[in-house]
Structures are given as structure tokens and as C-alpha cells.
Chain A
């Protein structure tokens, strides 16, 4: 394992991107940081800039307006990085799949700019915080 991957797995800093979510997944992401789950004990820390991040937590369906912003955020994230598609919408556009404003799902938008991107899926509407922790563990152990 090279040192970049080692340091990513040791303490993944995450940046939260809302690509058109209803805010339900976002609230569950915030739940992760509250004392009950407190993912900072695993070294998972929410940061304010994609340039500091090792992973992106993407919620939401991927709207026409958000797609370009998401691609730019992904471009600015140092590689290697893991993209977590959080929730049913981000994983596969969910109930909004035929909406006029939808260009997602998230993996499609990311793969337009980087076909080899590492993408992890956490389904659920919204996914439980336990499911997100499990998703992070599985994704990092696959690296």
C-alpha cells in the first residue's frame, strides 16, 4: 500500500456536497458527527473545503444546475479520493428519475470527468448513520 492510500484510510477527511437533495440525507450526515455516533473517533472529520478532503459525501439526485458544480468540486479534491453516493437519489436517482431537471445519478456525473473514480454507494431514504459508517468501512477496506 502506498503512503497516500495509507494516510487516506488512517483518517479520511470528508467534504459534504448537496447535489439537489431534500435535506433528509444531509441531516443524517450531520447525525454522524453528533455525540451518539461521533465518527471523529475513527478519524472521519468534516472539512470546509474539497481541497482538504479525502472523500466526498454526495447527497441528492444530481440536478442540471448542480452537476457542473459537483464535477468542479471533484476536480479540486486531491486524488486518490472516494466518492460516497449517499441515499437512494444519489445512488440511482430514486423517485425523481424522470424529472426534467435530473441529469444524475451521481456516479454518472462523476464518471463523465473521471471514468476510474472510486465510488461507494450507501442506499436508503435516508440511510441510517450506521449504514453510512458501514459503507465507509467497506469502501476503505476495499482500497
Chain B
């Protein structure tokens, strides 16, 4: 599948997206709301056959963002799914781990530092914070009070 065919394939999920940002030929952002993230990820991983690279969490201006980065190795195209979580009180998103085991640890890490709940995650234990770190304090949130 070359780049044009990949673009055509991606347009199959157009109705689930809120926008497509094309930074260059080989860097594509697919913007979506949180409820569509699972379906789009599943499509990209199982339907298109992209390779999962990593996920990122961001405490953005008035929402949380979870970014899933995929690589389509045949053309070297990097595709990022950017899911917006508007609920700042109880941020939650569907976990990808049931069909994508590689996402397990990075989802645990994002849960640790940003407090985003990954629904249906099989093992959402603490991963990187210290054992005595207080529960419910998320160090990478912008509203965290400064310690010193």
C-alpha cells in the first residue's frame, strides 16, 4: 500500500474524526473525541496494520489529550491519533490493552502521572511513582500545588 492508498484507507474512519492535520506527507494527526478513540485505534492497528510506537498524555488547556502514535512502516508514515478528554474532573478513556498488549505499561504510566482512568485495563497498578507517593496526587497535572 503506497501513500495514496493509505490516505484512501484512512478516509474510511472520516466520520469518527473531528479533523485531520497533515503536517507533511509522512506525518498525519487524526483528531477525535474520547468516545471514538478505541474504534479508530482498532482500525489503525488491525485494519490498516500499523505498528504501535508509543502513547503520550498531555494536560492541555481545558482538557486532557491522549496521543497514540503509530508507524506505517511500508511508507515510513507516522500517524498520531489525538483523543481529547473534555471531562477534567474524572478523565477516562477506553484502554487499548485488550487487543494491544504493548500499550499496557504506557497506559499505566499515564494513569500514574496524569490520573487518566483507562477503562477495561486488566492491570492498572502503579508503575513508576514511588511506593509512598500519596494516592490521588498526579505530578504532571498543571494544577498540582508546588511542593517547595
Contact = CB atoms under 8 A, between A and B. Distances in A.
B139 A100 contact: yes
B147 A101 contact: no
Contacts of A64: 130, 132-133
Contact of B147 (A63, A65, A100): A100
Interface SS, B side: loop
Interface string B94-135: 000000000000000000000000000000000001111100
Q: What bracket does the count of chain A residues touching chain B fall in?
A: under 10
Nearest to B132: A64
A127 B147 CA distance: 31
Contacts of B132: 64
Interface string A35-69: 00000000000000000000000000001110000
A63 B130 CA distance: 8
Interface string A99-122: 011000000000000000000000
A19 to B, nearest CB: 12
Interface of B: 129-133, 139, 144, 147-148
**Pairs A-B, 8 closest by C-beta atoms:** A65-B130, A64-B130, A100-B139, A65-B131, A101-B130, A100-B147, A64-B133, A63-B130
